[in-house]
Amino acid sequence: MSFTLGQPVTEFTAQATNNTTVTLSELKGKKAVIYFYPKDNTPGCTSEGQTFRDLYADFQEADTLIFGVSRDSLKSHENFQTKHEFPFELISDPDEELCKLFDVIKLKNMYGKEYMGIERSTFLIDREGILQHEWRKVRIKNHVEDVLQAAQALG
């Protein structure tokens, strides 16, 4: 399953850090960035999260919520969040429900081994729950800045 730009994102509810539940319909009226990353405490994922953290105030000014998603457990997420002082919630998706909804599980190759894993991807949803931007196969350098500009441009 995958969404088309300009179309509504399918309703979802997911468990996140700090005993929060994220439900798409409850985000109405705010813009939301949902970024998928492979694993807590790995160099690329840490760097990406830190950049979202460092630009968090700018995202808040743009009235945009941020949620990070991986298959890691809530406990792993809470340790990762605390260690790097992320001011946004991390969604745990061990059953890959959200990953499948956004079609981010892809065949990957590391050290000659093929496996199914999360392809680093980011989605920007507007105040009405419509998918406005998607970034797939993300390269971290300047990515968060691009997402921020897109969020600011949505007004």
Q: Where are the domains of the chain?
A: 13-154
CATH architecture under which domain 13-154 falls? 3-Layer(aba) Sandwich (3.40)
- Find the mean pLDDT for residues 134-147: 94
From 14, 45, 138, 148, active-site residue = 45
Confidence of residue 110 (pLDDT cuts 50, 70, 90): confident
Q: What is the pTM of this model?
A: 0.94
Confidence of residue 116 (pLDDT cuts 50, 70, 90): confident
pLDDT digits (tens, 9 = 90+) for 43-60: 999 999 999 999 999 999
To the nearest 10°, the Cα dihedral for 114, 116, 117, 122? Answer: 110
Confidence of residue 81 (pLDDT cuts 50, 70, 90): very high
**Res 2: pLDDT:** 60
Structural tokens at position 86: 């992320």
Active site residue 99: no
